[in-house]
Amino acid sequence: MKQIKRIYGIILMVGFLLESCVFPAVNFDELRGDSYLTVETEIHNGDGLNFVKLSSSANSVLRGTALPISDAIVFLLDKSGKRYDFTWDVTVPGRYIPAGAFKGEVGNSYQVHIETVSGDVYESDFEEIKPVPEIKQVYSEFKIKPELNDVDALKNGWDVFIDFQDLPESGNFYQWSYSHYEKLEICTSCTNGGTYDFYNNECRIPRRSLSSATTNYRCEGNCWELIKNKDLLVFSDILTNGQEVVGKKILRVPYDGSSKYYLKVEQRAINPSAYNFFASIVNSYQNAGSLFDIPAVTNFSVNIRCTNHPEKKVLGVFNVYGLSSKIIIIDRYNQVPPNINPIKTPLDGSIFECPIGGPAGCKDKTPCVESETRTSVSPENWQD
């Protein structure tokens, strides 16, 4: 019977393209290519960070690295010609943030200027910050996915949806992004027998260490991990102009703990150039792996170009958008049927604690190092 089930499993899954027969590729040979300037921007009217991020693309798949580009001159011009300088963000390599107070205005248009140390000058089209409708509601539904493996944290979880009213005029494009903040207990994990060097603030692994032991260190003060969406979510109102859009799925929240799940959902009104760029990634990359894939392509930027070397191609898009956001805190005791327990990932290794009566000055907590994915600043409306 198990065999028959397996056979039908294959038919069903193959028939419905559930990526059930996906394996890591074997004997994959690297192909070396060119590196391109990659531009990622988030210019908006919201309270969050505006930034321009520059990197150079990796020139091979397995061994390459996308390197951040520093020391570039970056500024924005608005349609009145006013200049807004951006400066290098010390916490995130390659990221440039406004040098002074800057917040985009709905209805205003912006153009980005970039000059790299090699002398290449890049300029974008003017893109307007479009008005964005408010998110009407964000809500979650608990659902079990029995087809997933028992150890998969997404097997049990909450699907999160939003509703919103599309604006009356046609030609609106949306993007959703979310940020999940998780309060950390462990700030540092030293692997391979390493221990934390409190003087240099880094893990120190003994030379020729054969140990595979991991030592974990609690956080000194509050620290939050920031997890952002990996999948792109874009939408055009071409088929729903002026209608209320109901039940747009944004993400699935795993049942991997009992703490409240903090989620900040952003709704962005993006420009057609950004929509086309992101939609092409969704279609040719995100949805890849079925029998019906479309040709894999890389769409180079259509709204940023190199002015002094027009033949140089640019990756990314100058994304300028109107922003509204909503915070939802999912109580992970809600809607859960009896006998369903969270699937937790056990902590690997031990937690270092100063022995009672141990040496004076013994430290067992490490600092929360600010980065793109970590902050010691309490998120808005945080609930413990």
* Binding positions for other proteins, 142-161, rule CB under 8 A: 144-148
Between 243 and 383, name the residue whose CB sits nearer to other proteins: 243
> Which stretch, 64-72, 118-126, 330-338, 358-366, contacts other proteins (CB under 8 A)?
64-72
Of 22, 102, 45, nearest to 324 (Cα)? 45
Which three-class secondary structure state does DSSP give residue 302?
Answer: coil
Of 75, 67, 70, 68, nearest to 43 (Cα)? 75
Residue from 213, 232, 306, 369 in contact with other proteins (CB under 8 A): 232
> Which stretch, 1-9, 97-105, 117-125, 329-337, contacts other proteins (CB under 8 A)?
1-9
Please state the separation of Cα 290 from the chain's center in Å. Answer: 24
To other proteins, the closest distance from the beta carbon of 122 in angstroms equals: 15
Q: What are phi and psi of 261, to 5 degrees?
A: -105, 110
Residues of span 320-359 touching other proteins by CB under 8 A: none
Between 62 and 90, name the residue whose CB sits nearer to other proteins: 62
Contact present, 330 and 253 (Cβ < 8 Å): yes
To other proteins, the closest distance from the beta carbon of 361 in angstroms equals: 36
- CB atoms closer than 10 angstroms to residue 269: 23
In this structure, what is the dihedral angle of CA atoms 182, 183, 186, 191, given to the nearest 10 degrees?
20
- Determine the Cα–Cα distance for residues 330 and 333; give it in Å rounded to an integer: 9
Amino acid of residue 374: R
Strand pairing of 314-317 and 195-197? unpaired
191 touching other proteins, by CB under 8 A = no
Residue from 14, 99, 347, 351 in contact with other proteins (CB under 8 A): 14
CA 76 → CA 46, 108, 121, distances in Å?
Answer: 17, 12, 13
To other proteins, the closest distance from the beta carbon of 81 in angstroms equals: 27
Between 77 and 245, name the residue whose CB sits nearer to other proteins: 245
- Determine the Cα–Cα distance for residues 368 and 219; give it in Å rounded to an integer: 6
- Determine the Cα–Cα distance for residues 329 and 29; give it in Å rounded to an integer: 45
Between 10 and 362, name the residue whose CB sits nearer to other proteins: 10
Between 179 and 195, name the residue whose CB sits nearer to other proteins: 179
Between 155 and 352, name the residue whose CB sits nearer to other proteins: 155
To other proteins, the closest distance from the beta carbon of 228 in angstroms equals: 6
Contact present, 18 and 289 (Cβ < 8 Å): no
Q: What is the DSSP string of 356-375?
A: TT--TT---EE----BTTEE
206 touching other proteins, by CB under 8 A = no
Between 167 and 281, name the residue whose CB sits nearer to other proteins: 281
Between 225 and 364, name the residue whose CB sits nearer to other proteins: 225
- Determine the Cα–Cα distance for residues 77 and 86; give it in Å rounded to an integer: 11
For other proteins, how many residues bind (rule: CB under 8 A)? Answer: 92
To other proteins, the closest distance from the beta carbon of 250 in angstroms equals: 11
Contact pattern for other proteins over residues 274 through 293, marking x by CB under 8 A: --x--xxx-xxx--xxxxxx
Residue from 119, 295, 310, 355 in contact with other proteins (CB under 8 A): 295
Query: Dmax of the chain from CA atoms?
Result: 73
Between 6 and 208, name the residue whose CB sits nearer to other proteins: 6
Q: What are phi and psi of 230, to 5 degrees?
A: -95, -30
- CB atoms closer than 10 angstroms to residue 150: 8
49 touching other proteins, by CB under 8 A = no
Which three-class secondary structure state does DSSP give residue 354?
Answer: coil
214 touching other proteins, by CB under 8 A = no
Residues of span 74-133 touching other proteins by CB under 8 A: none
Residue from 91, 212, 298, 345 in contact with other proteins (CB under 8 A): 298
To other proteins, the closest distance from the beta carbon of 127 in angstroms equals: 16
Residue from 137, 211, 212, 240 in contact with other proteins (CB under 8 A): 240
Residue from 17, 340, 347, 354 in contact with other proteins (CB under 8 A): 17
Residue from 294, 347, 354, 362 in contact with other proteins (CB under 8 A): 294
Half-sphere exposure of 46 (CA within 13 A, CB side): 23
